[in-house]
Amino acid sequence: MPASDTYNRQLAETVIKMFGKGDTDPRAEEIACENFPGRAVGGEIIDGVRKRLPTIARIIEHDYEEQTCVVSEKYYTLFRNRRQGSMFEMTDAEAQKCLPIGHGNRSEGLHRCEGDNDVIYQASLGQNLAAGTGLVVTNTNRAIKPTEEGHIPEERSGRLADNLKQKLNVVPEGDQMRQLARRAAKRRNQKK
């Protein structure tokens, strides 16, 4: 196991302990101080923890089955003190402000999901799904055009689509991509 993976898992374990103590939204600095008790924690260590927050959240969700998302500085300055131990009424727009989205809005800490009505966690899921969907659509379109033009062979384009369908259970199906490749091959042959 690489040293960075060991360190990320150690930080995830530290966060789980903090969750157990009732701190459901620790900042990077708090995580660093908890992970290195009795030591002076400098900016470099805090920045290192901050950069690892998305990885730590994934480890927590996968290994500990705790729904967790990364939150921004705005969460701590605008909303943390309003919580008072339970999720308060928050609008979707306010929840979006809590996420590290956009220029200069960096990751600052982790937020553990607090039930079915946790709009911060729901906003995080929505943002991740939108980003993932955008990537799938963009790259599917990138594969369709060269397939139509005959730059990707029929069998390869079918395998790409089948792989996508298997992983995501979405269209286009391999047969659709193969048909595009066949049409492109016919057009090429007709031009000769």
Is 76 inside any structural domain?
yes
pLDDT along the chain (192 residues), means of 10: 82 96 94 93 93 96 94 90 61 89 90 85 87 81 79 80 71 63 66 55
Name the domain count of the chain.
Answer: 2
Is 120 inside any structural domain?
no
Position 174 scores a pLDDT of 60
Position 134 scores a pLDDT of 82
Specify the length of the chain in residues: 192
> How is residue 103 written in tokens?
């220029």
Is 119 inside any structural domain?
no
Looking at 86, 114, 142, the residue that finishes a domain is 114
**Pick from 145, 123, 32: which is nearest to 79 by CA?**
123
171: Cβ–Cβ under 8 A, 6 or more apart, which residues?
165
Is 123 inside any structural domain?
no
**Residue 33 and residue 77 in one domain:** yes
Looking at 49, 83, 114, the residue that finishes a domain is 114
Is 122 inside any structural domain?
no
What is residue 183's three-state secondary structure?
helix
- Determine the structural domain holding residue 33 and report its residue range: 3-114
Position 126 scores a pLDDT of 86
How does DSSP classify residue 77?
I
End-to-end CA distance of the chain: 56
**Residue 94 and residue 137 in one domain:** no
**Quick one: the chain helix, strand, coil %, rounded to 5?**
65, 5, 30
Torsion sign across C-alpha atoms 124, 125, 129, 135: positive
Position 19 scores a pLDDT of 95
**Residue 96 and residue 132 in one domain:** no
Position 163 scores a pLDDT of 78
Position 85 scores a pLDDT of 47
Position 129 scores a pLDDT of 81
**Residue 22 and residue 77 in one domain:** yes
**Residue 67 and residue 90 in one domain:** yes
Looking at 52, 85, 114, the residue that finishes a domain is 114
**Pick from 100, 7, 89: which is nearest to 54 by CA?**
100
